[in-house]
Structures are given as structure tokens and as C-alpha cells.
Amino acid sequence: MSQTLPLLLSVVEQVDVLSIVDNSPTPTALSLVHHNLHYHHFPNNIGIAAAHNIGLRDLKAANCEYGILLDQDSSIDSDFAFRLSSLMVASRVENRPLVAIGPRIICSFTEKTVKPRVQREISVYDDLVCVTQIISSGMMIDLSKLEGIGFKDEALFIDGVDHEWCWRAKQQNLMVAIAEKVEMVHQLGDARRKFAGVTYKVGSPVRLYYQFRNILILSRRGYVPRYWKMRNLLCMPVRFFANAFLQTNRWQRVKFMCCGIIDGLLKRDGSFSQHW
């Protein structure tokens, strides 16, 4: 909660409706004051996709035009929502098919701006960079277009949820963009490690189950970009080796990766606890 409270205190001053979805084992005592606050607690963890959908439905029920998704490990400025919404409004006035916009991400570990290695960014407008996908934290969505695209895919549970939704939006010729001049600090993974001169993210062992499984599930879908399929499928053996031999909790990591591969091949989705 110590990491989340500063974010909540900043958000509460910027939005009309605040929906908090808590996937932690015990409920959180909130001292926030807001005229339209929703708090949902799920001790068994319903996953990030379901959590997003609950929050988005809260906002739609309150007739909000736009909604922002934020993870607990992000940090935003006091005018974050205003700057993103201004770009959304301007795009709507100019009839641009913009459905979602996110900030430039600054990694909390390196304090550097995150730049995609494979995905090319194509600058289309002065302050907007058109991209294939953005991460969920910091993402502002035009809620009027949500029904046409659909809500987040709860079967994926976590990992790939944000990208999959963006790819569905792109399928309908809707635009996803990064705000060139808006930044947000975000924690990507739990730590950083180097292998063969390459720095990579390290997450918890159970996340490996969802990462490996969802790569195999998403790689079967026609609307998923080919470059994403090739990159992730080719990197799977390297990631398996790095987690099996170069990390702590090696056997636990191997177990989760193998379970993920099995379930991915068998097309089993949902949470890990449903199958193992």
C-alpha cells in the first residue's frame, strides 16, 4: 500500500469517478475522500483482465467519456489525466480514429525511456506517435468505442492482455498511440538481469506460467502481429534457459514454465489454479 497510496492521492484529484480493484489476499483500508469511489476486493485474484473490465464497467455506468487504467506500480504527474484527455478530445474534433493513448514509459529501474526493439513507431501527428500496442498502465480509452472492440480478454488472465486488446482495436482500423510529450514512471518486472550482454526483465515464477502459455495461445490468432509471434516463439528457448539456470527458485520456475507450455499447447486458459 505504501507504493500505491501516492498514486491514489494523485489520481483522486484528477478524475470524476475512481474504481479500485484489489486482487490482494486481504482488503485494503482506504482513507481516500471522493464523491464517486468504487472499491472491489477479490482475495482469490481474478486476474488483470477481469479487474480492468470491472473498473471500465464502473466508468461506463457513470457515463464517463474516457477511462484511464493504472497499475499500483506507476507514478503520474498532477496533470496526467488532463494532458491525455486533451489529446483525445482534439483527435475526436479532427475525426481521427483514436481509441487509446498512453504515455512515454520511463522504467523505474533504469530511469530511461522505454523504446521498443522490434515494433516501429510511426509518427503521424505532432504530439501523437501511432503504434501497434501500448501497455495497460497509463492507457486512456475512449469508452464510446469500447463495446465495438469488446472488453479485455479475461481468459488470458494476465500477460498479453493489454496488447491483445490493442490488436483487436487495430483490426477495426482504430488508432492506438503514444503521447510524445507525456511521461509516466512505471516498474516493468520485479528486477533486471543481464545474459549474453542483453538486459532482461525478471518477474515472479508464477508469471512465467502465463507468459509461456499466452504466447502459445495468442500465436494461433490471426489478428496478432506476425513479428510478435516470431519474436516471442523464437525467444522462448532462451527465456527457458535463463530462468532454469540463471535465476533463484530455479525448479519452481521450471515447473511454471512447463505447466504454461503444456496448457498453451492444450489451449487451456484462465488461472493457473484452475488446472494445477
* Predicted local distance difference test score (pLDDT) of residue 123: 63
CA 61 to chain centre: 23
Number of domains observed in the structure of the chain: 2
Q: Tell me which of 169, 186, 203 is where a domain ends.
A: 186
Q: What is the Cα–Cα distance from 107 to 120, expressed in whole angstroms? A: 19
Kindly state whether residues 216 and 150 are assigned to the same domain: no
Kindly state whether residues 263 and 168 are assigned to the same domain: no
Containing structural domain, residue 50 = 4-186
Kindly state whether residues 68 and 112 are assigned to the same domain: yes
How does 69-99 read in b/e, with b if 16+ C-beta sit within 10 Å?
bbebbbbbeeebbebbbebbeebeeeebebb
Kindly state whether residues 98 and 213 are assigned to the same domain: no
* Predicted local distance difference test score (pLDDT) of residue 233: 96
Q: Tell me which of 124, 156, 186 is where a domain ends.
A: 186
Averaged pLDDT, 8-35: 89
Q: What is the Cα–Cα distance from 139 to 55, expressed in whole angstroms? A: 13
Kindly state whether residues 149 and 238 are assigned to the same domain: no
More confident residue, 175 or 113: 175
Helices in the chain by DSSP H: which ranges? 4-11, 48-61, 80-93, 146-149, 161-171, 205-218, 226-245, 250-265
Model confidence at 126, pLDDT cuts 50, 70, 90, reads: confident
Q: Coil, helix or strand for 13?
A: coil
Share of the chain above pLDDT 90, in %: 72
Kindly state whether residues 129 and 47 are assigned to the same domain: yes
Domain harbouring 54, CATH code:
3.90.550.60
pLDDT tens, position by position, 88-109: 999 999 999 999 999 999 977 6
The pTM of the full predicted model, rounded to 2 decimals, is 0.92
Kindly state whether residues 202 and 108 are assigned to the same domain: no
Kindly state whether residues 198 and 178 are assigned to the same domain: no
* Predicted local distance difference test score (pLDDT) of residue 202: 78
Q: Which of 62-71, 179-188, 197-206 has the lowest mean pLDDT?
A: 197-206
Kindly state whether residues 217 and 161 are assigned to the same domain: no
Q: Tell me which of 160, 186, 212 is where a domain ends.
A: 186
Kindly state whether residues 33 and 140 are assigned to the same domain: yes
CA 77 to chain centre: 19
Q: What is the Cα–Cα distance from 34 to 55, expressed in whole angstroms? A: 16
Residues 6+ apart with CB under 8 A from 113: 104, 105, 106, 107, 183
pLDDT tens, position by position, 70-83: 998 899 999 999 99
The overall average pLDDT reported for the chain is 90
